[in-house]
Amino acid sequence: MVKRKTKYVCQECGYESAKWMGKCPGCNSWNTLVEEIEASSTTSKHTVNGGMKNLSKPEKITAIQSQKEPRITTSMMELNRVLGGGIVPGSLVLVGGDPGIGKSTLLLQISSQLADKQLPVLYISGEESTRQTKLRADRLGVTSNLLYVLSETNLFDIAKHINEIQPSFVVVDSIQTIFREEVSSAPGSVSQVRESTSELMKIAKTSGIPIFIVGHVTKEGAIAGPRMLEHMVDAVLYFEGERHHMYRILRGVKNRFGSTNEMGIFEMKEEGLKEVMNPSEIFLEERSQGAAGSTVVASMEGTRPVLVEIQALISPTSFGNPRRMATGVDSSRVPLLMAVLEKRVGLMLQNQDAYIKVAGGVKLDEPAIDLAIAVSIASSFRDQATLPEDIFIGEVGLTGEIRRVSRIEQRVQEAAKLGFKRVICPMKNLDGWTVPQNIQVVGVNTVQEALDTGLAR
């Protein structure tokens, strides 16, 4: 095999050098030189000569045939939804997450399910021997004939095996263990990870085989982590959850073939991951009904409404500055909502500590949860519980007004499905849709009105 030349390029200013240096002579920054494979000029398409045969041509957009991407649907509906309807042939998907969260388990399960559908699958592990993979497979009850496992880290050999087997689906676990011979730095370094990924991208695009790569997120941050790969791949899925919690959330953060911010929920069991079809039920399972400081909100996670409990604990500050802590919601929303409650409702919150928590370990990121947070805070402060069958939806503005939210009908339907009796929502959201049976909808214009309705007694 011909050894291709590499060069070192400064990531800050683009300075090129044949040798590695600690300090870039171009911009004087430290540790920014990264090894890259030099593109040989003979294979480059972008030479300025007339002799190019396959020159791409601009086309009229109306003349391009639009075709629906055929997708490989897995047996996991949660995964299909996060991917935007299934696996797109020729796509390169990065599955990131903390070590030990269950990435290998998830991908081995998907591999076996696809193999059961008579699609040959190649599962490449650079971390485990084939025997270790087999142990895991036994635990998961995998008995597929068409599932090939390979323990290999050299990308050149991996490419050869993909070419030989011609699988319908490939998993590379993990990208941090894969290396290319041409690059001299160690596996897991920025150069190796990047060059290997771009080679896998090429394989996926030319062969049409979808490839899923695993990337560990390092606590230290972006170095050699999947972050730097995000712009290179077609889709990025993050697998999150608390190690000691059984629930795992698969979240799309980038998707060239579908919407992002979709979320799939799984439960880690003894015999592998199981889909959670109705997340609202599990998030409300341990709710302490009738306790002050607890409210339920219907939040949209992608296209799906999820009901989640929001808890607040307000207690007098003992020393100095009051504390404002939030888990699961944007921590800058809490002081803002407390200021609104103080100024517009007249609650004396300035010498109170506030702790806000979203139960179940989910992260909520949309303005429609404002009202539920505000009502929880007021409820805990006044030590007065909300009704257990009430739901609060609405964005809170700085003048204390309740602003319109999106997809109110779906949210209310989900609430009705789970047996809630009353929805307190923005007045401006009341028109143009039909209220489901068995649930009452109350429109409010201000936070004060919401508290009068929800905390009346």
Candidates 92, 101, 326, 447; binder of ligand TYD (CB under 6 A) is 101
Q: Measured at CB, which residue is nearest to Mg ion? A: 104
Number of residues that bind ligand TYD (CB under 6 A): 15
CA 430 – CA 410 distance, rounded (Å) = 13
The yes or no reply on residue 225 touching ligand TYD (CB under 6 A) is: no
Q: Which of residues 309-338 bind ligand TYD (CB under 6 A)?
A: none
CA 172 – CA 1 distance, rounded (Å) = 23
CA 375 – CA 337 distance, rounded (Å) = 10
CA 354 – CA 114 distance, rounded (Å) = 48
**237 vs 402 by CB, closer to ligand TYD:** 237
**Partner that binds at residue 282, options ligand TYD, Mg ion, none, CB closer than 5 to 8 Å by kind:** none
Q: Which of residues 92-121 bind Mg ion (CB under 5 A)?
A: 104
**140 vs 427 by CB, closer to ligand TYD:** 140
CB of 133 to ligand TYD, least distance (A): 10
Candidates 232, 268, 418, 442; binder of ligand TYD (CB under 6 A) is 268
**Partner that binds at residue 272, options ligand TYD, Mg ion, none, CB closer than 5 to 8 Å by kind:** ligand TYD
For 254, phi then psi, to 5°, come to -150, 140
The yes or no reply on residue 352 touching Mg ion (CB under 5 A) is: no
Torsion of CA 424, 430, 432, 433, to 10 degrees: 20
For 178, phi then psi, to 5°, come to -85, 145
Candidates 105, 144, 429, 453; binder of ligand TYD (CB under 6 A) is 105
| Unique residue bearing structure tokens 């069991």 | 269
Q: Which two tokens stand for residue 385?
A: 């519980």
Q: Which two tokens stand for residue 336?
A: 């803002």
**104 vs 299 by CB, closer to Mg ion:** 104
Candidates 86, 272, 305, 426; binder of ligand TYD (CB under 6 A) is 272
Q: Which of residues 171-210 bind Mg ion (CB under 5 A)?
A: none
CB of 108 to ligand TYD, least distance (A): 8
Q: Are 92 and 139 in contact (CB under 8 A)?
A: no
Q: Are 415 and 431 in contact (CB under 8 A)?
A: no
CB of 127 to Mg ion, least distance (A): 6
Candidates 21, 72, 119, 140; binder of ligand TYD (CB under 6 A) is 140
Q: Which two tokens stand for residue 307?
A: 């009901």
Which candidate, 362, 244, 357, places its Cα nearest to that of 293? 357
**Partner that binds at residue 429, options Mg ion, ligand TYD, none, CB closer than 5 to 8 Å by kind:** none
Cis peptide before 174 (omega within 30 of 0): yes
Helices marked H in 168-226 — which ranges? 190-207
CB of 147 to ligand TYD, least distance (A): 15
**137 vs 158 by CB, closer to ligand TYD:** 137
Q: Are 258 and 85 in contact (CB under 8 A)?
A: yes
187: left (phi over 0), alpha (psi -120 to 50) or beta: beta
Q: Which stretch binds ligand TYD (CB under 6 A): 84-92, 133-141, 218-226, 321-329?
A: 133-141
Contact set with Mg ion (CB under 5 A): 104
Contact set with ligand TYD (CB under 6 A): 97, 99-105, 136, 139-140, 268, 270-272
